[in-house]
Amino acid sequence: MATYRQSFSIETRGEVQAIDVTDRVALAVKTSGIRDGIVCVFTPHSTAAIVANERERGLIERDLPAALERMVPRGVSYAHNQAGDPNGHGHIRAALLGPSVTIPVADGRPMLGTWQQVLLLELDVRKRTREVVVQVVGDGAANV
């Protein structure tokens, strides 16, 4: 069993921003030399999430932010905000969406559906520098 890990940073502009990292994930899988296995895409931040979904403009720019606002409204009083940081809703949204996705790898490529991309979601109220970690595990020699 081989493993390979790579990480990269992304500058965000603030909530709710979706950044397509699919090409970078696919490149990490290719660089790994792993032909069959899994790839985990993870962000080590408590107000960001990783999802696999369609990067369609209406969905990403209007529908997703509106749905998140209905589920976890920004203007509600959160105990977290009383500490002086007004991003309690971002923490809850990230907890619901999750910090990672795991995708099967076959023939050296992530097995994403036709309309799926891997997206980093910025859920904080301000711009941030986010790290994305890509870990590939499977059969084949890793090019470390």
Q: Which domains does the chain have, with CATH numbers?
A: 2-139 (2.60.120.460)
For residues 125 and 87, the answer to whether their CB atoms sit within 8 Å is: yes
The burial class, CB within 10 Å (0-12 / 13-18 / 19+), for 40 is: middle
Q: How many CB atoms lie within 10 A of CB 59?
A: 15
pLDDT band, residue 135 (cuts 50/70/90): very high
* Number of helical (H) and strand (E) elements in the chain, helices listed first: 4, 8
Is residue 142 pLDDT above 80, yes or no?
A: no
Q: What percentage of the chain carries pLDDT values higher than 70?
A: 97
Is residue 34 pLDDT above 60, yes or no?
A: yes
Q: Residue 140: what pLDDT?
A: 80
The pTM score is 0.94
